[in-house]
Structure 1
Amino acid sequence: MDARLFNQKIQTTYKQAALLYKRTKVASSEQREELLEQSLEELRITLEELHVAEEEILAQNEELAIARSQVEIERQRYLDLFEFAPDGYIVTDATGKIREANRAAAKLLNVPQQFLVGKPLINYVPSEQRQAFRIQLQKLDRLQQLEEWELTFCPRQGIAFDAAVTVSSMYDASGNLKGWRWLIRDITARKQAEAAIRAVQLQNLQLQEAAKLRAHFLAIMSHELRSPLNAIVGFSQLLLRQTQSALPQTQENMVSRILNSGKHLLVLIEDILDFSKVEAGKLTLKLEPLNVVDLVIATTEEMHCLAEQKHLKLQRSFAIKSSIISNDSVRLRQILLNLLSNAIKFTEVGKVEVRVWELGSDRIAIAVEDTGIGIAPEDLQSIFQPFRQGNQTLTRQHGGTGLGLAITDSLVKMMGGKISVESKVEQGSTFYVELPRRVREQQ
C-alpha cells in the first residue's frame, strides 16, 4: 500500500467520526445508545484496516531500506571499479571538459585527479592531431560508440604514448547528448611488439627470398659444373683405356689423379644438387618393389674396396623373413652409401657392420655400426643439420660438403621413416633407420 491509499483511509476515518458526532447530537437518548454501538463497530473495523495498512507500509519501508542499501553497495562497487581500474577512465561533458577521472587516467596524464577535473581533454592531445580529434568528436554524436580509436596523448612533463581509446556517448532523459565516457589504454608496448614482429616478418621474407635464390643458384651451378666434369671423367677413362700401354708411368698417374679427382668432385656436386632439390621441394620418390637384402649386399660390395684400403672388416647380417619392400631403390641406396661412406671415413681400426631386421609386419630397420672416432654428445643434436659436421677439425681431414646426413635425414622423412644415432667418443657410432615396408606416394 502506498502513502496515498493510507491517507485516504485516515480521511475516511475522520469523516466517519464527524458523522457519528453529528448523529449523536440530533438523536434521542435511545437512538444514541444504538447509534453509538453501531458507530463503535464501524470504527473498530476501520482501525483494523488502518493497522493492516500500517503493517504494509512498515514492510514496504523495510524493503525500501534494503533496496537503498543494495543500491549504495552497487554504487560503491562501481566507484571502486572506476577508481581502481587498470585502464584510464574519464567522463567528459558535451564540450569535452573532464568531469571525472580515475587514478589510472591521472597517472597516464601525469596530473593529480583533482586538477584534471574541469580541464579539456584535448589539452593532452598533440597539436597536430587536435583537428582530427575535433572531427572525430563531431562524428561521435552519430556513432554513439567508437572502439579501438588509436590516439597519441602527451602527459604533462612526460613522454607521449600511444593509446587505444573506446568512447561511448551519454544522453539525458530527453535524448540530448550530455557527455562521453572514455576508456584509455596505453598500447605503447603493443605497438613496439607489433613493430618488432613486422621487422621479423620482413627479415623472414628476405631470408626466404635469399634461400630461394641460393637454392636456384645451387641448382644452376651444379648442372653447369657437372656437364664439364662428366666430360673430364669420361675422357680420362677413355685415355687410360686406349693409351695405357703407350703413356709413361708418370703421365698415367697424372691421368688417374685427374679421373679420381673428377669423380670426387662429381660426388660433391651431386650432394649439392640433391640438397637444392630437397630445399626446393622438387625431390620425388620413384616407388617400386625391391629386395632390400639384395640392395644391401650390392651396396656393401661397392664399398668393399674402400674398407679394404683401410684394412677394415665390412660385415652384414639379416634377420628378416620377407625381404620384398616398396621403396625408391636409388634413394634407399643413396641412404646406405651415405651412412657407409661416413662409417668408413671416420673409422681407422676395427669394422663396419650393416644389420637389417623386421619391426613387426609393416616396418623394417637398418643399422650401420662402426668402431670409429664417435660423436661428442654436444654435436649429436646438430649432426643432421645441413653444412654441419660432428667435429669440424677432424672432418676437414676427410673433406665433404657436410650435406650427406642432412640429405639422408630428408630422404628418410620423405619415406615416412625416422633416423637416429647412438655414439660415444672413441667407441664408434650406430645410425638407425626405421622405414615402412610400403612407402606411400603422398609421403
Structure 2
Amino acid sequence: MGLAMNWRRYLPHRLSSQLLLFIGIAVTLAILLVSTVFTYQSVKRERAQINENIQFLVKNIEAVSAALILSKDVEALESVLLLNAKFPLVDGILIVDTKNRVLSEVIKVDGFPEPLFTNKTTIPHLAEEALDTATGKTAEANWKNDFLPPDVQLENWYPIQAGSWLASIRIRYSLTELHDRTARQWRHTLLYAMTAALANFFMLVLMLRTPMRVLQQTTAFAEHLSEHIGEQTTIYHGTQEFYALGNALNVLSVQLQYQRQTMDEQLAHTQAILDNVVDGIITIDSLGTIRSFNQAASRIFGYVEDEVIARNIRMLMPEPHRSAHDGYLKNYADGGAAKIIGIGREVEGMRKDGSLFAMDLAVSRALDHDELIYIGIVRDISERHRLDRLKSEFVSTVSHELRTPLTSIHGSLKLLEGGVAGALPDAAIKLVSLAQKNSQRLILLTNDLLDMEKLAAGKMSLQLSQVDLLSIVKQSILDNGGYGLNYQVQYVLGAHPQSCLVIADAARVPQILANLLSNAAKFSGDSHQVDIRIILRDGKARVQVEDHGPGISNEFQGQIFGAFAQDNNGNTRQQGGTGLGLKITKSLVIAMQGEIGFDTKIGNGSIFWFDLPLATSEAKEQAERRMDIAP
C-alpha cells in the first residue's frame, strides 16, 4: 500500500504540469497503440500472403512435375524447378523420390537460381509446421514473431502424388526481407508516435497557458478570500468550467460577507442576552478551568470576569466540594456516573467574601472545536429559601394553633350528635352532623400540613425496625373497611405470602396504606371492590392496591405525587381530600428506603404500589444506623 501511494511524490506539483504529463502520456500511448495495431495487422497479412504464395508454388510444381517424374525426364524437371525458383523469397527447391534419392535440386546464388547436382539421400519431413534450417527444429510460433518476424530460413515438405505417392518436394524460403521491412515499419511507427506526442505537447502548452494563468489568479483570490471578503475576481469566459468556478467564488465571497455580518449581529445579540440574563452562565474545560463568566455570574459570586478567567472553578465552591471537584471531573471523563451533569441539583456556592449561599446548578456538556466543555447555569435561591422558611413557619404555626381548637370543636360536636346535651331537632342534627364532618376534614388537613412541614424540614422521626407487613395490611383493611363502605367498596386481600417481615416504621406503614386505600375507594367508579396483594421479589416486598375505576389521565400522571395534586376529572372535589396524601405517602416510603409508583390504563383502573426492603441481617444493621431519616 505504501509503495502504491509513493508514486505520487514523483509527480510535478503544479496542475498544469500534471495535465501536460498525463495528457501527453495518454496521447502517446494512444498513438502507439493505434500504430501497433496497424503494424501488427500488416505483418500478419504479409505472413499469410507468404504462406499462400508457397502453397500456390507447391501446387504449380506438383501439377507439372508429376508427369515428368513418371517419365523420368530429369532435365525437364530441372527446368521446371529453375523457373519456379525465381519466385520471391524462395532460396531453393528440392525433389526426392520415394527412396529419398534426390531427383533434382535448385538453389539461389546471388539471387539467381542454379541447379545443384548431388547423389546424397535426403529424408523428407512431411509435417504442417515449417523447419528452421539453422537448427533443424520446428519454427516456434509466439507473440514476438507476430510483431517482428525472425531473420531465419525456413523449409516446408510437401508430397507429390498422382494416384500414389511419387516424390516429395522441399521449399526453402527466407524471412530476412520481411524481417527488415517490418523493422523499418516499426521504426517509422515509433518516429511518428514521438512526432505526434511532441506536437500534442506543444498544442497542450498553447491551449493550457491562458487557463492555467487564470487558475493561478483564481487560486490566489481564494487564498486571500478570508482577508478580502466581499471582493470579486475576474471571470474567465474561455471555458465553461473556469467561468463557473469564478462565478461561484464571487457568489461565495458575497455570501461570506453576508454571513459574517449576520454572525457579528448574532454574536452581539447572544452577548447582550448573556450579559442581561438573570442566571449566571459559566463554562469550563475538562480540567475545570473557567473559560467564560457572564455578568449575572459576577453579580452572584461577587467576582469580575478577569478575576476568574483561566482559574479553576474550585474557587467558587466550599469544602468538601472544592477538594472533590477535580476527582469528580476525572471520574466522569473516565466513564463514571454523572452526579450533576445532565441532572442538576441544589448545591452551595461561595462568594468572593467567603459567604455561602444556596443555588440551583444545572450542568450540560458540549463540544467546542472537538474539545469537551461544560456549561453551568447558576441561580441564587437564597431568597427562595428564606421565603420557604417563612411559609413553613407560618403553616406550622397556623396548623399548631388550629389543631387544638379544632379537636375541641370536633369533640363537642360529636357529643352534641350523640345526645349528651339532650335530644336535638332533626334539622339541628343535620347541621351538627355536617359541622362534625367538616371539622374532621379540617383536622385531617391540619395533620397533613404538619406532616408535610416535618418532612420538608427533615424533622420527621422514623423508627425503623422489623415489622410484620402482612399483619399491618390485614389490620389496615379492617380499620379502613368502614371508610370503604361509604363508597360501597369492599377491600379484598388477594395473593400474599404466609409471612412477610420488612424493615419499616410500624406507625407509618398504616398511614401509607390508609392513604392508598382511601384513594382507591374514592376512585373505584362503578366497581365495588379494591384488590390488595403482597408480592415478594428481588429482596423486597411489594404491596399493590388496585382499583377498577376510570384510571388516571395522561395529563395528570406526571403531577400525581405533587403537593395539593388532584386530577380534574369532573368529580375530584366531590370525592374530597386535601391533595397531600400521595405526597406524604411518597415521602414516607422513600424515607424508609423504599420505592413507590403506579400503573394505570384509561378506563381500566389503576394499581398503586410501594416496595419495602425485606428484613435481612444487613437490612437490620442499616436500620439501626438510620433511626432519624430525612426525606
The alignment's TM-score, normalised by the length of structure 1, stands at: 0.54
Conservation of the 8 A alpha-carbon contact between 2:502 and 2:541: no
Q: 2:499 maps to what in 1? A: 322
- After TM superposition, list the pairs within 5 Å mapping 1:65-104 onto structure 2: none
User: What is the alpha-carbon distance in structure 2 between the residues aligned to residue 222 and residue 304 of structure 1?
Assistant: 29
Structure 1 segments unaligned to the other structure (5+ residues): 1-83, 85-158, 163-186
- After TM superposition, list the pairs within 5 Å mapping 1:388-427 onto structure 2: 388-391=565-568, 393-427=570-604
- Secondary structure, in 3 states, of the residue corresponding to 1:294? helix
- Secondary structure, in 3 states, of the residue corresponding to 1:397? helix
Conservation of the 8 A alpha-carbon contact between 2:487 and 2:522: no
Segment drifting more, 198-207 vs 417-426: 198-207
Residue 308 (str. 1) matches residue 485 (str. 2) = yes
User: What is the alpha-carbon distance in structure 1 between the residues aligned to residue 597 and residue 590 of structure 2?
Assistant: 12
Q: 1:228 maps to what in 2? A: 405
Conservation of the 8 A alpha-carbon contact between 1:338 and 1:404: yes
User: What is the alpha-carbon distance in structure 1 between the residues aligned to residue 607 and residue 498 of structure 2?
Assistant: 23
Residue 381 (str. 1) matches residue 558 (str. 2) = yes
Q: 2:426 maps to what in 1? A: 249
Q: 2:459 maps to what in 1? A: 282
Q: CA deviation at 1:416?
A: 0.5
Q: 1:354 maps to what in 2? A: 532
Residue 192 (str. 1) matches residue 295 (str. 2) = yes
| CA pair 392-225 structure 1, distance change in 2 beyond 3 A | farther
Segment drifting more, 284-293 vs 427-436: 284-293
* More helix as a share of residues: 1
User: What is the alpha-carbon distance in structure 1 between the residues aligned to residue 437 and residue 390 of structure 2?
Assistant: 32
1:339-380 CA deviation, whole Å, 9 max, x = no partner? Answer: 1111111222112111112225x4211001001121122322
- Secondary structure, in 3 states, of the residue corresponding to 2:437? helix
User: What is the alpha-carbon distance in structure 2 between the residues aligned to residue 297 and residue 416 of structure 1?
Assistant: 22
| CA pair 314-244 structure 1, distance change in 2 beyond 3 A | farther
| Identity over aligned pairs, percent | 34
User: What is the alpha-carbon distance in structure 2 between the residues aligned to residue 381 and residue 367 of structure 1?
Assistant: 20
Q: CA deviation at 1:334?
A: 0.8
| CA pair 419-364 structure 1, distance change in 2 beyond 3 A | same
Conservation of the 8 A alpha-carbon contact between 1:421 and 1:430: yes
Conservation of the 8 A alpha-carbon contact between 1:343 and 1:368: yes
- Secondary structure, in 3 states, of the residue corresponding to 2:508? helix
* 2:561 alignment partner AA: F
Q: CA deviation at 1:189?
A: 6.1
Q: CA deviation at 1:230?
A: 0.5
| CA pair 371-244 structure 1, distance change in 2 beyond 3 A | farther
- Secondary structure, in 3 states, of the residue corresponding to 1:378? helix
Residue 370 (str. 1) matches residue 473 (str. 2) = no
Higher relative CO (CA 8 A, sep ≥ 6), structure 1 or 2?
A: 1
- Secondary structure, in 3 states, of the residue corresponding to 2:293? helix
User: What is the alpha-carbon distance in structure 1 between the residues aligned to residue 545 and residue 525 of structure 2?
Assistant: 16
Conservation of the 8 A alpha-carbon contact between 2:502 and 2:612: no
User: What is the alpha-carbon distance in structure 2 between the residues aligned to residue 397 and residue 241 of structure 1?
Assistant: 27
1:398-425 CA deviation, whole Å, 9 max, x = no partner? Answer: 2322211111111110000101111122
Q: 1:272 maps to what in 2? A: 449
User: What is the alpha-carbon distance in structure 2 between the residues aligned to residue 410 and residue 238 of structure 1?
Assistant: 36
Q: CA deviation at 1:203?
A: 4.3
Conservation of the 8 A alpha-carbon contact between 1:420 and 1:432: yes
User: What is the alpha-carbon distance in structure 1 between the residues aligned to residue 571 and residue 418 of structure 2?
Assistant: 37
- Secondary structure, in 3 states, of the residue corresponding to 2:294? helix
| CA pair 204-248 structure 1, distance change in 2 beyond 3 A | same
Q: CA deviation at 1:435?
A: 0.6
Q: 2:517 maps to what in 1? A: 340
- Secondary structure, in 3 states, of the residue corresponding to 1:396? helix
Q: 2:240 maps to what in 1? A: none
- Secondary structure, in 3 states, of the residue corresponding to 1:364? strand
Q: CA deviation at 1:229?
A: 0.5
Q: 1:433 maps to what in 2? A: 610
User: What is the alpha-carbon distance in structure 2 between the residues aligned to residue 299 and residue 261 of structure 1?
Assistant: 24
Conservation of the 8 A alpha-carbon contact between 1:244 and 1:252: no
- Secondary structure, in 3 states, of the residue corresponding to 2:385? helix
Conservation of the 8 A alpha-carbon contact between 2:523 and 2:550: yes
**Which has more radius of gyration?**
2
| CA pair 280-356 structure 1, distance change in 2 beyond 3 A | same
* 2:532 alignment partner AA: V
What value does the CA root-mean-square deviation take over the aligned residues? 2.9
- After TM superposition, list the pairs within 5 Å mapping 1:45-60 onto structure 2: none
Q: CA deviation at 1:196?
A: 7.2
User: What is the alpha-carbon distance in structure 1 between the residues aligned to residue 475 and residue 487 of structure 2?
Assistant: 20
Q: How many residues align?
A: 260
Conservation of the 8 A alpha-carbon contact between 1:293 and 1:323: yes
